[in-house]
Amino acid sequence: MTPNQTAAKVLDGKWVRDQILAELKPRIAKLTETHRPPGLAVVLVGHDPGSEIYVRTKIKTCGELGIYSEKITPPETVSTEDLLGIIEGLNQRPEIDGVLVQTPLPEQVDKYRVLLGIHPDKDVDGFHPLNVGKLQAHMPAPQACTPAGILEMLRRYEIPVAGRNAVVVGRSDIVGKPVAMLLLHHNATVTICHSKTPNLAEHCRRADILVAAIGRAAMLTRDHIKPGAVVIDVGMNRKPDGKLIGDCDPEAAKELASAYTPVPGGVGPLTIAMLMANTVQIAEQHLCSA
């Protein structure tokens, strides 16, 4: 750090998460008093350790907020047809507002048919093609949780987006594409890069807001970060010693960025917070249309 350079601001995902959850509590209380609690069903196939931890956190957060939750655990050997039958049963239940199928799924399950099997107005993940299309058309719909959380973080830290150059590294349907669309809707000039982009560092160095979501540990180095940029690191990679590291070199982000998200503790906590927000919003819509 040069003598005149100020320390980069740490964008604390837990602080943003706590704000979001606190704002949800009165909305949940109102729903519970006038109608019923919001309801979330999580389908967990098999015994993937990471998925089990993630689902446990989701169920625990529901309990803390007063959201009704169910965990359905079909066996690892479940067929696509049987899983679709479970989902359709949840689609038909009026007390269940949101249905989430935890991934990854076993190889024998057709994940695309499962995705289409969730009714669009119960799609708390925002992954159904109808909701993806609504996102592109800038229409109200459940939005993918991690991208929506990133925009909430930028808003709550009062980081301007309009008129800024944003570079998204990664083109997944879960993070890269939807976060690029959300940034575009907030009037950023957006470039999407990926593993086949030539001169990647050159593109990244143009970014006022750099979103790293490519899934490769510390792939983005100081050569990729423009001094003063805001670095949003979505990566969650395990080092050989078991510690987590993002897609950016953390020391480079600390040294060059004006603000950055740490890993862990940055973007991660926002995903479940936005899942809760989607569940509550869908429950409110169901109540209005009842």
Answer yes or no: do 155 and 240 share one domain: yes
CATH of the domain at 113: 3.40.50.10860
Q: State how beta strands 68-72 and 39-43 pair.
A: parallel
Name the catalytic one among 58, 122, 177, 226. Answer: 58
Residue 3 has pLDDT above 50, yes or no: no
Could you tell me if 165 and 244 lie in one domain? Answer: yes
Confidence check: pLDDT of 4 > 80: no
Whether 75 is in a domain gets the answer: yes
**Domain C-terminal end among 88, 120, 152:** 120
Say how many domains are in the chain. 2
Q: What does the pLDDT look like over 34-67, one tens digit per residue?
A: 999 999 999 999 888 888 998 999 999 999 999 9
The pLDDT, as a whole number, for residue 48 is 84
C-alpha pair distances (Å), 181 with each of 49, 50, 131, 132, 233: 32, 28, 13, 10, 17
Domain with 175 in it: 144-268
Q: Are residues 166 and 113 in the same domain?
A: no
Q: What is the mean pLDDT of residues 261-272?
A: 96
Q: Is residue 131 part of a domain?
A: no
> Could you tell me if residue 227 is inside a domain?
yes
Q: Using the 8-state DSSP alphabet, how is residue 142 labeled?
A: -
Indicate the pLDDT class of residue 83, thresholds 50, 70 and 90: very high
Percentage of the chain surpassing pLDDT 90?
91
Task: Look up the CATH number of the domain holding residue 200.
Answer: 3.40.50.720
User: Does residue 78 lie within any of the structural domains?
Assistant: yes
pTM higher than 0.85 for the full model?
Answer: yes
Q: Is residue 285 part of a domain?
A: no
Residues 166-187: tens digit of each pLDDT: 999 999 999 999 999 999 999 9
Same-domain status, 263 and 159 = yes
The pLDDT score that the predictor gives to residue 290 is: 67
Same domain, 97 and 185: no
The arithmetic mean of pLDDT across residues 9-32, rounded, is 98
Question: Is there a single domain that holds both residue 103 and residue 165?
Answer: no
Confirm whether 138 is domain-assigned: no
Q: Identify whether 58 is a catalytic site residue.
A: yes
pLDDT of residue 72: 97
Residue 211 structure tokens: 């979103």
On whether residue 286 sits in a domain, the answer given is no
Which residue among the candidates 97, 122, 123, 125 is catalytic per the annotation? Answer: 125
Shared-domain flag, residues 200 and 242:
yes
- Residue 18 domain-assigned (yes or no): no
Q: What is the pLDDT of residues 101-158, one digit of tens each?
A: 999 999 999 999 999 999 999 999 999 999 999 999 999 999 999 999 999 999 999 9
